Structure 1
């Protein structure tokens, strides 16, 4: 019987392409999105559930996109909607770097720590019969393109984030992957991944999972 991965994240897990017009909704097809490619590469041993929401933060209500973007709420919903799972991947933090949240890199990591605390709680570990966690730090924001104003100052924060995430993962006893060592955000909007990035990330995550 195949094991199950729950891929939890934001627009880059959802499959949003680099934006040229912020008012236009778009999504890559399943043949491009990294969670789908991950599942295909790990068949028949693993299957992947995609749980990506554009604008999702690690732990904060968004004043523009809505309170349901708070990753704490979404994680509880995902863990109670699906299961049992064997592995949870979390890739969040990009939206937390938006200027209006006023967070530093360690503040973003603190939000991620809250998600790990939820996922590692007795409630959810017991519900799923125990599962492992892979924390994925997203690549740095580039601060360019049509949504750059939202991410003013985000580059420095997100460049510093992998170190905090690695230490957090070690402290919480979960697995870690620095996506920025394998892919980069698209120069089109400085945040989202192009198809080559999705493929490279899927390959990197697959290799990490095979070595768990």
Structure 2
């Protein structure tokens, strides 16, 4: 029996970017230490985990500074098609929408995540041409810290409010939901990215959530 496939649709924290010491710092956690790899080990050979983490990726917004290609809405259709059939899609976005340049509320950001989830559910990228299941993953709360503080000015209260909105959207649309804030915190070096310990905790936590969600009736 072929393994089931799981797409992790995320940003730099799915990519494995380490906390930035300065702008342009592109250090990346070793692949076995990234949360997607930890989750894959926990889930076992019955699952094929596909990590699609793009640094700077937003939910649905084109970035006027970093480029239109940062929009998750632009990238999602191609990824759903290229990796199908997909049994499950995890959407782990919202952190980059906190950038001051976008001027969004936490609710607006959550609606962007909802758009991606509903577009996924309208696709034919699951088994036998059916839509895949979808789980929303609330990102670890961001802080204004280090070299990224000017970019993420005012992010903390919005970031703290985001999981509540995402949980409500998940419940209203019969989606899976897991909150990473239960097990991890950002690295205070830049207030956005995660260290190896956080990745390990997240991988184990999300693996458990996936197993529970996929065994529901």
Which bracket does the TM-score occupy, shorter chain normalised? over 0.9
- Determine the structure 2 residue equivalent to 1:7: 8
**By how many angstroms is 1:125 displaced?**
4.9
Question: 2:8–2:49: 8 Å Cα contact kept in structure 1?
Answer: yes
Question: 1:119–1:125: 8 Å Cα contact kept in structure 2?
Answer: no
- Determine the structure 1 residue equivalent to 2:98: 97
Q: What is the TM-score normalised by the length of structure 2?
A: 0.94
Question: 1:60–1:70: 8 Å Cα contact kept in structure 2?
Answer: yes
Question: Which runs of no fewer than 5 residues in structure 2 stay unpaired?
Answer: none
Paired with 2:211 and 2:127, the residues of 1 have a C-alpha distance of 24
Question: 1:21–1:146: 8 Å Cα contact kept in structure 2?
Answer: yes
**By how many angstroms is 1:116 displaced?**
1.0
- Determine the structure 2 residue equivalent to 1:158: 159
- Determine the structure 1 residue equivalent to 2:180: 179
**By how many angstroms is 1:127 displaced?**
6.9
Paired with 1:132 and 1:38, the residues of 2 have a C-alpha distance of 18
What secondary structure does 2:150 align onto? helix
Paired with 2:126 and 2:74, the residues of 1 have a C-alpha distance of 17
Paired with 1:91 and 1:56, the residues of 2 have a C-alpha distance of 10
Q: What is the TM-score normalised by the length of structure 1?
A: 0.96
Paired with 2:91 and 2:129, the residues of 1 have a C-alpha distance of 17
- Determine the structure 2 residue equivalent to 1:209: 210
Aligned pairs, number: 212
What secondary structure does 1:134 align onto? strand
Paired with 2:16 and 2:27, the residues of 1 have a C-alpha distance of 8
2:103 matches 1:76: no
Paired with 1:157 and 1:24, the residues of 2 have a C-alpha distance of 26
- Determine the structure 1 residue equivalent to 2:24: 23
Paired with 2:127 and 2:6, the residues of 1 have a C-alpha distance of 17
- Determine the structure 1 residue equivalent to 2:60: 59
**By how many angstroms is 1:130 displaced?**
3.2
Question: Which runs of no fewer than 5 residues in structure 1 stay unpaired?
Answer: none
**CA shift digits 1:159-198 (9 cap, x unpaired):** 0111100001111110000111111111110000000000
Question: 2:123–2:130: 8 Å Cα contact kept in structure 1?
Answer: no
